[in-house]
Structure 1
């Protein structure tokens, strides 16, 4: 019954249209590849479509069956609630100590397992007071979600800590593969100010265990805890990142740069990319949907690109420890999360007295996730995705109860994933321009009536004048 209700709801959800669109009303189209036997399909929207739609709300997208009939569709964010992000979890952490004279010898790692659980037992042979902790093993075997990032909390051995770490992963503690290389962590204190960079983004390909190589241990810095932050769900769309150059702002009253995005991307993150190292930008980020619209503030704060020298103690050679100077670590300001927006015009304004930029114009990086389209497989295949039109505009039925019903039922139904096939030859480019306004026949008729009435009055007055003159 719930499945039948969902099909009815989805059918009603897009039954109402402002106009009955036809394939020729759109400039572009693709064939949709659909595995047989499913009632509902989910289709990711690629960047090429965001770049060619005319409407920012994607209302110039339609799905047709083989008989050129529109089929019901909706975007996933409208019918499915935002996924819940699991709470961060503190992971089991095990330090691995190495002596100053010999980093890789004298370490025994023992794994006890009963095929359902595992216990790590670390034994250090020939330890002495000069031993240092140069790596940590993190047990992630009991995690229930994919880890997105690790937050490392450490006790600094000095006022300033800047270190580059490596992260490896393994399923058996014997065979390790690289997961992250050259990630920079920092903890700086000066004049009562504190700067902390303590988060590492890690790829999804994760084993049961992680090894964090920790060169800062030579300076007495000890990791106190590692907290895992998770993805929102298993099928969370992959983050995509686009970088666009800027130009000096047209507004002479402000110091800043303007950016234009050539697509209506669903933007959720922004980052200011400074070209030169040791650059600072204290300012504000604005956006707007069109050049004639007002600016909206998106973020206010500091953006930076800083460089620090770092050393590596995890480089044994011939059984002895060597302190190597690595290439300088570069710290870039993190990405900023913003509410979902499709604005194409952006501006960065900065405070000249509190910024240090040089002559280069910073680029603006946007992080976005595709918004999948869900459609009902009504009628015969193949189905066609058509988009790009300023003359038709489809919309979903503005009934909140229908959306609530579909949200409750969507999670219980199997959804098959579709993909885009062959691109069709482009249609008429005229549909990308708004329909010319209809001729004002009513106004013309009104003016014609008024002019005709004036002429009739003039003729009557002229005849009356002749009659009066003839009598005289």
Structure 2
């Protein structure tokens, strides 16, 4: 009896309780240089996960090995708006041995721009080119960059001081500047751009530190740069048809409770004016919770069509969504509208290893997160490095045939789990019967 008990216990301990089963696997196409790759996760693929926090996401190679990866939400990206303008330049001449800036006589036009700049006649020795005066009076923007082009004969490094003025009488020292042109073999390296402090000024004075090397300018441009942060990128779903509808009310059920940022409603052609309200509720709940209200429209204005088809939700978790239309606006027509929903974009960064093709796997309800911090996955990581990584591309949504296979696999996995639990329960019952039998067995009396 003890031998049978040992065999049953060994069998139960050897049987796996849960085996990792990824119901959905989609191929990844790699572009650019590795070994790290960045994937903008499509929302249609994200919806195939078993958990909204993507704890069941994995990246696999051709050998079926799980690869190291990290998850990161898309963040606001800085955008630079650049304005450039050509400016006039005038030579500044003075004595070669003078330390002070050359004295000049100027003639201005009616709009304040310079027409002529001439040196003051001091009669002190040879007059050489000491620098240049730039007229930026027509460019009423902060100055962030200065672009210079000069004669091809001048090579090497050219260093100069930069001073700014609004009246040509009072000058403020800005930064020192440097331009360079170097040739070797059949290649040429140029540095034509100079940093400016981002302040406004009508005139700039460039004085060369080595006047004998001051080049002849061919062009001068000033640049103003306005930086602003763009909104974090969003991942949009494909159009979703309502799961139920009646006049003036439409409902959708998402596979996961997702933190929705926006909802876009498909409006019919023609003039539309529709006051709407949105509500949500969790799976299995009876009560609807109001989310927001808004006005959707498609209307002519100034000979053009004005469209407002989006509603902001700002990251509210939603699984079931209800849209109600105020009939006083005329409704949305006889056809039930489709919607597209958006969440803040998620990026998957992984370290390629083993053989291609690589796959993205999701759908194991029992999985725990295996994501690493980005700083661990990429030693020495800095946010600016992210854009330079190789790129991975996944389908926008799980193909229908693949979803059918995933559903079948999930159903088989569910029955397999039921079978395993059945084996366990039978084993436990068998163990209980054995123990009960041993307890009831009468002790043999010794004589």
Q: What TM-score range do you get, normalising by the shorter chain?
A: 0.3 to 0.5
Structure number with bigger Rg: 2
Per residue, is there more strand in 1 or in 2?
2
- TM-score w.r.t. the length of structure 1 is 0.44
